[in-house]
Amino acid sequence: MQAETPEDAHKNAHLDTETLIVGGGLCGLHTSFELGKRGRSHMIVEARRRLGGRILSRRLSSPSGQEVGFDLGPAWFWPGQRRMERLIVELGLEADVVKQFGDGDALFEDAAGQVRRGLFGIAMLGSYRLRGGMAQLIEALAQTLPSSSIRLGWTAESITWQGEMQSEAPLQVTLQSEDGPRIVTCHQLVLALPPRLAQQRLRFEPPATPALAEALRATPTWMAGQGKLVALYERPFWRSRGLSGDAISQRGPLGEVHDISPSMDPEGRNGPGALFGFFALPPSQRQAVEKEALERACIAQLARLFGTEASQPTQVWLKDWAFDPRTATDDDRQHMAPHAEHDLMLPEDDPWQQRILWSGSETASAAQRNNGYLEGALEASERTLRRLLG
């Protein structure tokens, strides 16, 4: 997006829209996509300068000229996640679905650094990825939306109920953009972001009740305390040694490693090859180390596991979500919480509970095990659309 001209800035200072969606991750974009298909007027604001939220992929052209991607956020979806499957088909991305590689032995590293190989059952076998990375999904969705409906770099800061606190009274959302403050008045407001961010970063006027604030704060944001390291190689050399690329480690810094090479060739002849790992080190210990030192420690670990060839990656990417204020809060850095076991229950006597459409993956069904997942982002969007369109 280009910088605003003074005329644009003036025009944009105060805008009106029927529906405002805050958050341009998978959930908010899907809601925008479905509203767009029905010609419903809306606007989507995203605090980052890019779309996708927790979806973040590094893209490259492979030697065969194919566009390939490596995920620093979510990579997998699973058979039976029908919303993900349906969306991928609708956007014409079926040919880019690849199965997670998992043939061969896994590795296990104990706390003393002893490495054993065997069938440790940690492979994500059966899961799927997108060859171009999950960002392919975001790009395909974004291409369907008129750029006039998307505002990047606009951060919602406060929400004010206009006039009487009645359901039909409009809401005024104050945002900060690089070009100054913005006000958007809307009739329907969708918060497509983690509940903890809504509680910590948005000011409600009149204030939300303590019970509502506590319910939002108590809902952990899935994987917000995690980080991911991707190491890229010319080819997936471990496969020709009968290794799947899966490893678990009690020594760290990575606790779990997987193969995310785009090719499925079991001999690993086609490049590029890539390994990624989740951290075993908690956020506080990761923060205490320089990023470069942490990367070096991870590559040294990959070399202990997969041999000296692993010490020479062509690229290394590290994304620590725990320190990204658009995803994580202090609570997410305290400990890595599992998926919430119960649905987000907001107190019914808080008027904000009724007035706002609370969306985002963390609001999806816990019983269906969708909350926190990509499938949950789509489930939440579908629920929101039923209210918006119903």
Ligand X SMILES: Cc1cc2nc3c(=O)[nH]c(=O)nc-3n(C[C@H](O)[C@H](O)[C@H](O)COP(=O)(O)OP(=O)(O)OC[C@H]3O[C@@H](n4cnc5c(N)ncnc54)[C@H](O)[C@@H]3O)c2cc1C
Binding site for ligand X (CB under 6 A): 22-28, 45-48, 53-55, 73-77, 155-156, 192-194, 197, 201, 222-223, 226, 228, 321, 326-327, 360-361, 372-374, 376-377
Omega before residue 253 within 30° of 0, cis: yes
Q: Which is nearer to ligand X, 193 or 304 (CB)?
A: 193
Q: Which two tokens stand for residue 49?
A: 């300068």
Phi, psi of 353 (to 5 degrees): -60, -40
Tell the smallest beta-carbon distance from residue 8 to ligand X (Å).
19
Strands 155-161 and 203-205: parallel
CB of 315 within 8 A of CB of 274? no
* Shortest spacing between CB 93 and ligand X, in angstroms: 16
CB of 113 to ligand X, least distance (A): 25
Integer Cα distance of 47 and 42 in angstroms: 17
Q: How far, in Å, are 72, 95, 103, 262, 374 from residue 99 at the CA level?
A: 18, 11, 11, 9, 17
Looking at the Cβ atoms of 173 and 302, the one nearer to ligand X is 173
**Closest approach of ligand X to the CB of residue 74, in Å:** 3
290's tokens: 């320089």
- Measured in degrees and rounded to the nearest 5, phi and psi for residue 180 equal 115, 180
Q: Which is nearer to ligand X, 113 or 325 (CB)?
A: 325
Nearest approach, Cβ of residue 203 and ligand X (Å): 11
Both structure tokens of 198: 């809504």
Nearest to 208 by CA among 165, 178, 170: 165
By beta-carbon proximity to ligand X, the closer residue of 133 and 376 is: 376
43 versus 232: smaller Cβ distance to ligand X: 43
Q: How far is CA 349 from CA 192, 208, 212, in A?
A: 22, 11, 9
Going by their DSSP bridges, the two strands 42-46 and 150-152 should be labelled as parallel
To ligand X, the closest distance from the beta carbon of 370 in angstroms equals: 9
Identify the helix (H) or strand (E) that includes residue 320.
strand 315-320
In the bound state with ligand X, the residue whose beta carbon lies nearer, of 301 and 359, is: 359
Q: Which is nearer to ligand X, 158 or 240 (CB)?
A: 158
CB neighbours (10 Å) of residue 13? 13
Q: Provide the minimum distance between the beta carbon of 97 and ligand X in the complex, in angstroms, as a whole number.
A: 14
